[in-house]
Amino acid sequence: MSMLEVENLTVRAGGVTIVEDVCLSLEPGDWLTLVGPNGAGKSTIINAISQCVPYTGRIKFEGRDIRRFKPAQLARRLGVLAQGNAVGYAFTAEEIVRLGRYAYNASLFSSGSDEDDEFVERALELTGMAAQRGQSALTLSGGELQRTFLAQVFAQNPNVLLLDEPTNHLDLMYQKQIFEMIEGWLREPQRAVLSVIHDLSLARAYGTKAILLDRGRIKSAGDMRYVFAPDNLNGVYAMNVYEWMRAVSNQWRE
Amino acid sequence: MRSNEGYRAVHYIMFSIAALTVMVLCVCVGSVNIPVRSTLLVVRNALLNREIPEGMSKSIILSVRLPRVLSVALVGASLSLCGGAMQGLLRNPLADGSTLGVSSGASLGAVIAIALGVKIPGFPFADTMGMAMLFAFGSLVAILSLSYRLDSSLATNTIILVGVIFSMFVNALMSLIITFSSENIKAITFWTMGSLTGSTYSNVITLLVAMALCGAVLICRARELNAFAVGEDNARHVGVNVRRVKLIVMIAVSALIGVCVSIGGTIGFVGLVTPHMTRMLAGPNHRRLLPASMFMGAIFLMLADLVARVALNPLELPIGVVTSLIGAVAFIIIFRGSRRTI
């Protein structure tokens, strides 16, 4: 059974169709990457699946309509890292990560368990945020904030990750670390990742399947080699992608 | 979040001592100053149902100042609690209980009652207070239905916008009524500026019940408010039932604001300023912020009421004028100093 299945997803806002008739499915072990130029609808697909924007079509999670899940029930299975997280008040990094455990003790008088502490601790360690746990979110850098929210997602202990540009704002060391971490996380059974990755090289290096989007529609979908074929990419990006990528990476040859 | 994120008993004892000290001060000081010992003796004897000696200003303490100070403390705590909850829910430090437009609605009800002498047959408080409560509830229903019609997801921005527009519309209606009701203009103006003069023990009980019920609802939602304060989408991602919690918080805030406005009129700035001051002391976590805001709100409003009573003695100022004057200046100072820390 697919972990996540999207059928004929269409998102409209203000009379404009942002995503049209998108279908995808996520099997255990998949790292499906959504690629495409700006405005192709990548983030909107993530937002629709995470129930943040209204949509038409069907989204099934573990074989059930995703809308039938209670919010806390869904949050225990599906972790979402959105783009552009900004915090309005001076919550500490640890407080934000701890919110990731809300779904496990959502009842009115619950005050958390030792298991919650363990997950929070592990998530802070994994993302390298343990040392800054007491720091106010208002003084964290963009990369640190991104790692804080990533830690929150790991604290949720989900089976499926929806990641919108997970390495946004991150320096090279953390980019590498986070991608390797997600790759390691994915080795456990019954897990899958759907992510938006802007950087085509990273998408190609880590994804197991890809969907290339063009102005809200799927241009091609399937295994990496097929989706990343020159004809597909060149048409969507309106440039010779391979030539550009080679020219850039050649700079690194000694 | 874990229980250690909330306050411990010792904190509550300290808050209570501070609030009680201010309360005693406010009962003692006024147009006639009464010694602390006499005040405490009168209150103690009254509580224990013992005889109170002659010449102890019994009626000033028990019939005038005590119910007033208690009402003021409860209104201050309630307004501050509502402000703290709304600032978290809407993730907007400029929000307060009146952002939803409910207090304007309640004011309209009261103005209609005063100007036109409207009374609701069969309603227990069938006067200004009853009309204010009725209109507060009616406003909430109107604002939420309109917001829902415009945007079924009840997005925060839609609610704020509808609330602001609703308030403007209601204020225009009030001006219209005032224009045609010149003989009652003094009563209306005094009421819209806020006043707790002449509060009774039945007011105190009404406020206490409303605060206990709505306050419990809000404080039980502290973790959800934390998630909202981090971000509404983030709240959804971690599993908060966003629409339900939003509705519960807004209904509790509106009910409490409705009761406060119906008793004390429009008292500005308490709900805006005190949660800010409290956030500087307690941090943004609503488990600490909400209870601390209640104590701070009570203390702030009791002191403001004291200023209103004694500043131009024997003339008494409307409490809303004092809170707005102090609050506006305090807000600028706090906001300037805390832009990086709230």
- Tell me the per-residue pLDDT of B209-248, one tens digit each, with 9 for 90 and over: 999 999 999 999 999 999 999 999 999 999 999 989 998 9
Question: What is the mean predicted confidence (pLDDT) over A173-195?
Answer: 92
State how far the Cα of A12 lies from the Cα of A15, in Å rounded to an integer: 6
Instruction: Work out the burial of residue B12: count CB atoms within 10 Å of its CB; fewer than 13 is exposed, 13-18 middle, 19 or more buried.
Output: middle
Q: Do B92 and A88 touch (CB under 8 A)?
A: yes
Whether the predicted pLDDT of B76 surpasses 90: yes
Annotate B318-335 with DSSP letters as a single string.
-HHHHHHHHHHHHHHHHH
Which of B238, B246, B248, B287 is best to mutate for the A interface (most A CBs within 10 A)?
B238
Who wins on pLDDT, B339 or A78?
A: A78
> Please, which pLDDT band fits residue B285 given cuts at 50, 70 and 90?
very high
Domain with CATH 3.40.50.300 in chain A: 1-77+159-254
Tell me the H-state helices in A127-209.
Answer: 142-155, 172-186, 200-206
A98 to chain B: closest CA residue: B1
Which of A169-178, B3-12, B96-105 has the weakest average pLDDT? Answer: B3-12
Whether the predicted pLDDT of B4 surpasses 60: no
Beta bridge partners of A194: A32, A162
pLDDT tens for B130-177 read: 788 788 888 988 988 898 888 877 777 888 889 889 999 999 998 898
Shortest alpha-carbon distance between residue A50 and chain B (Å) = 7
Of A52, A87, A106, the CB nearest to B239: A106
Domain ranges, residue B143: 3-338
Q: What is the pLDDT of residue B1?
A: 46
State how far the Cα of A75 lies from the Cα of A52, in Å rounded to an integer: 13
Q: Do A50 and B240 touch (CB under 8 A)?
A: no
Chain B partners within 8 Å of A89 (Cβ): 88, 91, 93, 229-230, 279, 284, 342
Tokens, residue B96: 């307060």
Instruction: Work out the burial of residue B101: count CB atoms within 10 Å of its CB; fewer than 13 is exposed, 13-18 middle, 19 or more buried.
Output: buried
Which of A89, A107, A150, A156 is best to mutate for the B interface (most B CBs within 10 A)?
A89
Q: Cβ(B144)–Cβ(B250) under 8 Å?
A: yes
Q: Do A95 and B233 touch (CB under 8 A)?
A: no
Instruction: Work out the burial of residue B313: count CB atoms within 10 Å of its CB; fewer than 13 is exposed, 13-18 middle, 19 or more buried.
Output: exposed
ipTM of the complex: 0.91
Whether the predicted pLDDT of A25 surpasses 90: yes
- Total domains, chain B: 1
Whether the predicted pLDDT of A163 surpasses 60: yes
> Please, which pLDDT band fits residue B91 given cuts at 50, 70 and 90?
confident
- Residue A96, phi then psi, degrees to nearest 5: -65, -45
Q: Do B341 and A136 touch (CB under 8 A)?
A: yes
CATH number at residue B24: 1.10.3470.10
User: What's the gap between Cα B218 and its chain centre?
Assistant: 14
Position B34: which residue type? I
Who wins on pLDDT, B125 or B109?
A: B109
Q: What is the pLDDT of residue A239?
A: 94
**Element containing residue A164 per DSSP (H, E):** strand A160-164
Q: What is the pLDDT of residue B340?
A: 52
CATH for A1-77+159-254?
3.40.50.300
Whether the predicted pLDDT of A206 surpasses 60: yes
**Element containing residue A4 per DSSP (H, E):** strand A4-13
User: Positive or negative CA dihedral for A235, A236, A241, A244?
Assistant: positive
- A residues 48-77 closer than 8 Å to B (CB): 50-52, 54, 70-76
